[in-house]
Structure 1
């Protein structure tokens, strides 16, 4: 079967998963945009009330975005698609064989399109508020200085590597896998509070792409694509070495339970996203 046929077949079967991924990242970026306007725009009463307390505002932002990601992960749509909402995370699960190449390509495309659409929507709705230098379309960019790009690259690599490894270790644990979304939310909150000055805190190529397109500024965008993707892939390689190739239960951040009979991985609360190899592919192609 040709690549085009594989992609077409995947789209027909699994488009609800792709739509869920696009909606998830769109909600995430929209939330980040709205919260940033409220917390950072000079006209905001919140900014005026806490004008001299930048770290407090970062803490509030971290708490809010941590809750947003938890909400996405445990929402019905998040459980349906797995709530990757991040091309780097999808690449990691693809490397582990938890999602087919065709589905991974559609996931990444949906995530990027969802982020770009969200950025354009925020630009339309928020207008000058979104473009104000204090908000700057929530663009992620390296800090100034000759070593800014290196600092941003290193920071993004480290935080993404840690996030992906924690995510995989939690999903591998019968005890902790149902709390994976909460662990990701806590890490995200801590990253926003502590890491933002070093890279702007992206973790997500699609999130940075959506903001960059809205701002029309692509300076340093490659950092947030390359560093995060390489880090997620590296974390999956380390995970494989630590567990000697043992299979991961599922690629659903809400967690899932191993089933007996029927599909290999199933849960009453979480639907496994398109998995490779697809057990029913042979029947459909026959």
Structure 2
């Protein structure tokens, strides 16, 4: 139960901090944090919770990461579904909290026809810069693949584990710096689902890509590390 609670709180913080920075702080004229600030916020959520609860649950906070770690031999298959459920619940409740806060602004409304509405992910006309489904799939696949390489390498028994959280948090920051204009950045199915549920419409119908591409990328990244990079001694 403690592991599941750690995953719940970690994923809650990721969505609340990352998506919250996009919703509250990114677009303020002259003072907004912009894409770079949002990218840093997502990285900081993972970095802080990795050190706060990573020793309890492993600090996944992402269904694709959990699946990748299972493929990489670092995680038990019997814990996979409970972890994913906890992550999704944490993400959805965080999105609900964001919605409640935003509802306190009389000008707040979710436009389900607008790209990036409520920090949702999307492609084609729902991509921030109009990238196609193919481009979105490749970006999410490749970035999650490399995210797993970083995670598995930084947490390898031969690596300096004290800096694992820093490396993983900075990797997620870099991922967002690259891909916010493409898909609004997912690499995390729970994060995508939570926002899409509140937007509905096309973002919800497109959420499949933000499950399939990250999970496939995580599987391939884990397989590459396990079979080609990992030292067995």
What's the TM-score once normalised by structure 1's chain length? Answer: 0.71
Post-superposition shift, 1:246? 3.0
- Asked if residue 186 in structure 1 is aligned to residue 167 in structure 2, the reply is no
Call closer, same or farther: CA 1:216–1:240 in 2, change over 3 Å. same
Contact 1:26 / 1:117 at 8 angstroms: preserved in 2?
yes
Deviation per residue, 1:160-187 (Å, 9 max, x gap) = 0011012112222534332121112112
- Asked if residue 96 in structure 1 is aligned to residue 83 in structure 2, the reply is no
Runs (5+) with no aligned partner, structure 1: 1-14, 42-46, 248-286
Runs (5+) with no aligned partner, structure 2: none
Detail structure 1 runs of 4+ shifted over 6 Å in the superposition: none
Call closer, same or farther: CA 1:242–1:168 in 2, change over 3 Å. same
Deviates more, 1:219-228 or 1:58-67: 58-67
Say which one has the larger Rg: 1
Post-superposition shift, 1:243? 4.5
Deviation per residue, 1:208-251 (Å, 9 max, x gap) = 0111112124132111100000111111111121147838xxxx
- Asked if residue 70 in structure 1 is aligned to residue 47 in structure 2, the reply is yes
The aligned counterpart of 1:60 is: 37
The aligned counterpart of 2:141 is: 157
Partner-residue secondary structure (3-state), 2:155: helix
Matched positions, count: 223
**CA distance in structure 2 between the partners assigned to 1:130 and 1:22 by the alignment:** 27
- Asked if residue 234 in structure 1 is aligned to residue 220 in structure 2, the reply is yes
What's the TM-score once normalised by structure 2's chain length? Answer: 0.86
Call closer, same or farther: CA 1:147–1:186 in 2, change over 3 Å. closer
Post-superposition shift, 1:123? 1.2
**CA distance in structure 1 between the partners assigned to 2:191 and 2:60 by the alignment:** 12
Contact 2:123 / 2:183 at 8 angstroms: preserved in 1?
yes
Alignment of 1:28-177 (within 5 A): 28-41=14-27, 47-50=28-31, 57-75=34-52, 77-127=53-103, 129=108, 131=110, 136-144=117-125, 148-172=132-156, 174-177=158-161
**CA distance in structure 2 between the partners assigned to 1:70 and 1:154 by the alignment:** 26
